[in-house]
Amino acid sequence: MNESCDIAFLGGGPAGYQGAVRAAQLGARVAVVEEKFVGGVCLNRGCIPTKAVRASADVARSMRRAREYGFKPVEAVPDISAIIARKQRVVTSLRRSIEGLFQAHRIDLMEGRAVLAGHGKIELQKNGELSVVETEKVVITTGSRPVGLTVFPESPRIFLADDILDISYLPDHLLVVGGGAVGIEMAAIFRELGSRVTLVEALDHILPHEDREMAENLLSILKRRKVGVHCGATIDSVVKSGEGFTVLLSDGTELTPDTILQAVGRRANTEGIGLEELGIAMDGRYIVVDEHLQTSVPDHYAAGDVTGGWLLAHVAFAEGICAAENALGRESAMDHRVVPRCVFSIPEYASVGISEEEARNLYPVSVGRFPFKSLGMAQALGELEGLVKIIAHAETDQILGAHIIGAHGADLISEIALAMRAAIPSRMIMKTIHTHPTLSEAVLEVSQALHDRAIHVPPKGTSL
C-alpha cells in the first residue's frame, strides 16, 4: 500500500505533533508516523506524568502541614496504585486531545516504525507488514530515550527515568543516581510520598549546569526534607541482596536501597532509521541542522532531541513549528539564546540565561536577590522557602540570567524570559506595576534590588 502527503513527521512527540498541526494550518497534507503513542516521552513518560504524580506529592505535603493552616492533623497515607492510576488518566486524556487535534486538522496518523528509504520515500513497518509513504518534505522528530549504567544488574526494581512512574509499589528506600533535573524531581516527589531517598551525583554539586549559589540553596532544602545527598561520588558496585541491593559508593559509603532509579542522561533515537544511507550529516548521535532546522539533505528537516542542544519539550515545540514553516516555504529561524528551564522539585527551580559565575567571567555585572519569606503572598501561602536572583549587565542593565527557587517558579520565570527576548532592561520590570498580593511581586522586588530600591529588603548591613 502506498500513500502520499506534502510533509511527513517521523515521530509524534512534542516536535512532531506541534509541527504537524502547524503544517496543517499552512494548508499542507500532513502525515505523522508514530511507533508507540502520540505525545512522545513528554506526554506519556516524562513531563506530564511527573507533574501528575508531583501533584499527589503536593497534596501529601499539605495534609502533613494541616496544623499550620488551622486544621487538625490529617494522616497522609499514599495509595501508590491510585496515584499511578490518576497519572494514567491524565496522560490518556491529553493523548486523546492530541488525536482529536489530528482529526480536526485532517492529519494522517500512521502507526508503525518509519525508515527513510530514499529521497521523498518512507517505509512504514507494522506487524510484519510494509507500506510506503511518498512525501515532498520530511521532518525527523524521533526523540530520545534514557540510558543506564553497566554497573547495574537487570532487575524489576532498577528503573530508568521513562519507567519509574509505572511503579506498582512505594519504595522503602529509593536510590536516585543522577543529580540533574530528573533525579532532583524524583528525589523530591518520592520523599514527599514517604520513601527514604538517597541521591548520588558524580559531579561536585547537584544541577551542575545551573547557578552554583542557587543549586546549593536547593540542596539545603532537600537536606532539610531529609533527602540524603552524596556529591562527587560514583557507583563502585551493586549486589542484589534479598528484596534489595547493597550499593558501594566511591566515597566508601554503603547503601541498602530496595529500589534504584537511573537518571543519568538520554540518547537520541537516530539509529536504524536510514540517516546514514540518505547521507544526512551527523555530529555523533545527533543530526546536524542549521538555524532553519534543515539537514544537509534538501527537503529533510529535524527537530527536537535528535538535534542535540536543549533536550526540553518546550524547545522541541518551537523547533517542530519552525521546521514545518521552513519546509513549507515560510521563513523562520530558531533562536536558542533565551531558553527557560525548570526543575519541578518541591519547591521548583526555574532559570533562564546564564549563571552568575558565567556572567562574571564575561561582563561587569550587578546581582539582585529577593527571598520568598519577605513576600506577602508567600507568607499567606506558607511557602517561605525560596529565592529569586537576577544577574544584569552593570552598564546596559540587560538581563543576563535569572534563577528562581520557590513555589510556582516555573511560571514566574516566563516574565523574565520575555524581557530577555525583547531586550527589555531590568528597570522596565521595576517600573511595571505588578498585582498584589501575588508571587510575581518577587520578580518586581528583585528588579528593584538590582537598583538598590527594594522595598521589602533592609539596607545592606542591617536586618529585619
Predicted confidence (pLDDT) per residue in 19-63, tens digit: 999 999 999 999 999 998 999 999 999 999 999 999 999 999 999
Write out the three cell numbers for 144: 530520545
Q: Of 247, 264, 281, at which residue does a domain stop? A: 264
Q: Do 152 and 59 belong to one domain?
A: no
Q: For residues 320 and 423, state if they share a domain.
A: no
Same domain flag for 7 and 125: yes
164 shares its domain with 205:
yes
Q: Is 109 in a helix, a strand, or coil? A: strand
Max CA separation in the chain (angstroms): 77
Tens digits of residue pLDDT in 175-206 = 999 999 999 999 999 999 999 999 999 999 99
Q: Is residue 362 part of a domain?
A: yes
**Where a domain ends, among 296, 327, 358?**
327
Please state, in angstroms and rounded to a whole number, the distance separating the CA atoms of residues 376 and 258. Answer: 42
Length of the chain: 464
Q: Which amino acid is at 143?
A: G
Considering the domain architecture, whether residues 293 and 179 belong to the same structural domain is answered as no
- Cis peptide leading into residue 49 (ω within 30°): no
> Distance (Å, rounded) from C-alpha 222 to C-alpha 93?
33
Three-state SS at 313: helix
User: Residue 159 sits in which domain range?
Assistant: 148-264
Q: Report DSSP letters for 327-378, one per residue.
A: HTT------TTS--EEE--SSEEEEEE--HHHHHTTS-EEEEEEEGGG-HHH
Same-domain check for residues 302 and 381: no
CA distances from 93 to 17, 100, 433 (A): 16, 10, 38
Active site residues: 436
Say whether both 23 and 116 belong to one domain: yes
Q: What's the whole-model pTM score?
A: 0.93
Q: How many domains does the chain have?
A: 3
Question: Residue 330, Cα to own-chain centre: how many angstroms?
Answer: 29
pLDDT at 243: 87
259 and 292 both lie in a single domain: no
442 within 8 A of 369, measured Cβ to Cβ: no
**One domain for residues 306 and 203:** no
| Residue 462 located in a structural domain | no
Residues 6+ apart with CB under 8 A from 91: 39, 43, 44, 48, 49, 52
Domain assignment of residue 369, yes or no: yes
Q: CATH number of the domain at 204, please.
A: 3.50.50.60
Q: Tell me the mean pLDDT in the region 86-102.
A: 97
